[in-house]
A = this chain, B = another copy of it.
Amino acid sequence: MALENSKEKNFSDWYAEVVQKSEMADYSSIQGCMVVRENAYGVWEAIQEAFNAMIKAIGHRNALFPLFIPKSLLTKEAEHFAGFTPEVAWVTRGGDTELSEPLAIRPTSETIMYESYAKWIHSHRDLPLLLNQWCTVVRWETKATKPFIRTREVPWQEGHTVHATKEEADAEVMLILGFYKKILEEYLAVPVLIGKKSDGEKFAGALYTTTCEALMPDGKALQSATSHNLGQNFAKAFGIRFKDKDETEQYAWQASWGMSTRVIGAMIMVHGDDKGVVIPPRVAPLKVVIIPIAYSKPEDAKKVAKYCEGIYAKLKAAGISVKLDDRDDKSAGWKYNEWELKGVPLRLEIGLKDIEKDAVMMVRRDTGQKNSVAKEGLEKSVEDELEKMQHQLFEKAKKSRDERISDAKDYGEFKKALEDKKGFVRMSFCDERECEETINKETTATVRLISFDDHKPKHKACGHCGKPAKVTAYFAKSY
């Protein structure tokens, strides 16, 4: 059961191994498609619950549009089609019959949804339209796949909203980006930088794209969620028009935004260790596991079993997700390893000595720290420790990420920082496509984001080409 690979020494193999052994994901017989196993799906359900609460509180609702998109519909917005067509999976046969028109499996749902939106929207009173769906999308990747990080079928949510003005669409984009940051930082404990994508990296068909970028231990950035202002591009292609208050006919403004199970990959990479995955308490499907110490004397074993059942009932009654692992064919040590591998935040070890003290031994998954905790008030002690662990996981990850953000004033510094620090390099930048492409060709790094908050560049000249700098950009290698 133990891991053969070390996170430090052999990151990529460690990831492949830990994902499978911790029962987060498994490979299937379809190349590039994975099974999201129960341990990871439980994390996804916690994310769904949290994100649904956020978006529903401000009027969004969930719906479900068809899996299929007729080819003619997919081609309606030219830039969008060009962006997605190389990686579309096509259904060409139903039963024994060849279809008259091939159907794409949705790579994303703009086109199939906006066909309906055009039917539904007539007046400014129909706006804003605020829909989201949870589904899977398919992109027939030719790059090497990696569970959660890059797969051919991707579970995600996609929000698609329609607004009367550009300003309202702008506000939606930023609102949702804030929710994504919250999910990543406050639930998955993964720190992210937020900003705008360069023109070369934006969503096919969008006016602009905003992004949450996390940093993985191997120095690669991971695009974790994106939120786009689509402008009026799709509205014009699909005829989404409304009669405004002044009775004039207008094209609508649109936003779309998505976050996938990729964020679970980020969580595993950032917090996992050589014992297995570490699941932050707020998204852990199982938060506490109770393990009775085995005794050979039946009366001792009985005493421990009874005490453990009481602790289990106590925590369960308090609404804490808890499991009592009372299998009698495994040693306590074997169980410790198994639940560490699966990332359960807290372990309670209980033996005769603990019972004598009316206590339990509480062990933290992330630090291994042991504390004897009184039975009385245990619910609160457990909840406090879970909260503490949640915060400490984030603080530790943030410190590590922050240490890997470097500043470069010129290309020499840039290349050195990229190699030495293995992280983000911040540089004043001309924001021109050609310059970005040259940097990419020479270093494999790309512009991960253009900063919102220090938009005005520090230096007057682009650190690479010397032309006037327009923005502050964060570069990194990426997944």
Binding site for B on A (CB under 8 A): 26, 28-30, 33-38, 41-42, 45, 61-70, 73, 85-96, 102-103, 105, 112, 115-116, 119-120, 125, 131, 135-136, 138, 140, 142, 153, 155, 285, 327, 329
Q: Let me know if B92 and A35 touch, CB within 8 A.
A: no
Q: A33 is contacted by which of B29, B66, B87, B102 (Cβ under 8 Å)?
A: B66
A103–B28 CA distance with the chains assembled, in angstroms: 13
In the complex the two chains form, is B36's CB within 8 Å of A70's CB? Answer: no
CA A135 to CA B153, docked complex, whole Å:
13
Interface centre among A30, A66, A69, by most chain B C-beta atoms within 10 angstroms, is A66
The contact sample of 19 A-B pairs, CB cut-off 8 A, is A28-B65, A29-B73, A30-B66, A33-B67, A34-B66, A35-B63, A35-B64, A35-B65, A36-B63, A36-B64, A36-B65, A38-B61, A38-B62, A38-B131, A41-B62, A68-B153, A86-B96, A89-B93, A91-B105
Tally of this chain's copies: 2
The residue in A85, A92, A95, A115 that gathers the most chain B C-beta atoms within 10 A of its C-beta is A95
Is A35 touching B93 in the complex (CB atoms < 8 A)? no
A69 vs B90: C-alpha distance when bound (angstroms)? 14
With A and B bound together, what is the CA distance between A64 and B43 in angstroms?
12
A115–B45 touching, CB < 8 Å: no
- B155 and A33 form a contact (CB under 8 A): no
Whether B29 lies near A70 (C-beta < 8 A) is yes
CB-based contact B38/A63 at 8 Å: yes
B89 touches A63 (CB 8 A): no
Give the chain B neighbours of A89 by CB distance below 8 A: 91, 93-94, 103
Q: Tell me the complex Cα distance, A29–B87, Å.
A: 22
Tell me, in angstroms, the Cα distance from A140 to B153 when the chains sit together: 21
- CA A41 to CA B133, docked complex, whole Å: 10
Q: How far is the CB of A58 from chain B (nearest CB, A)?
A: 14
Give the docked Cα–Cα distance between A96 and B90 (Å).
Answer: 9
- Given A61-B41, A62-B38, A62-B41, does the pair A90, B93 have CB atoms closer than 8 Å? yes
Q: Are B91 and A64 in contact (CB under 8 A)?
A: no
Scoring A65, A86, A131 by chain B CB atoms within 10 A of each residue's CB, the highest score goes to: A65
Neighbouring B residues of A92 by C-beta, 8 Å: 90-93
Q: A90 contacts which chain B residues (CB < 8 A)?
A: 91-94
- Alpha-carbon distance between A135 and B67 when the two chains are bound, in angstroms: 11
Q: A28-B66, A66-B28, A66-B153 are in contact. Are A87 and B93 (CB under 8 A)?
A: no
Q: A28-B112, A35-B116, A89-B94 are in contact. Are A42 and B70 (CB under 8 A)?
A: no
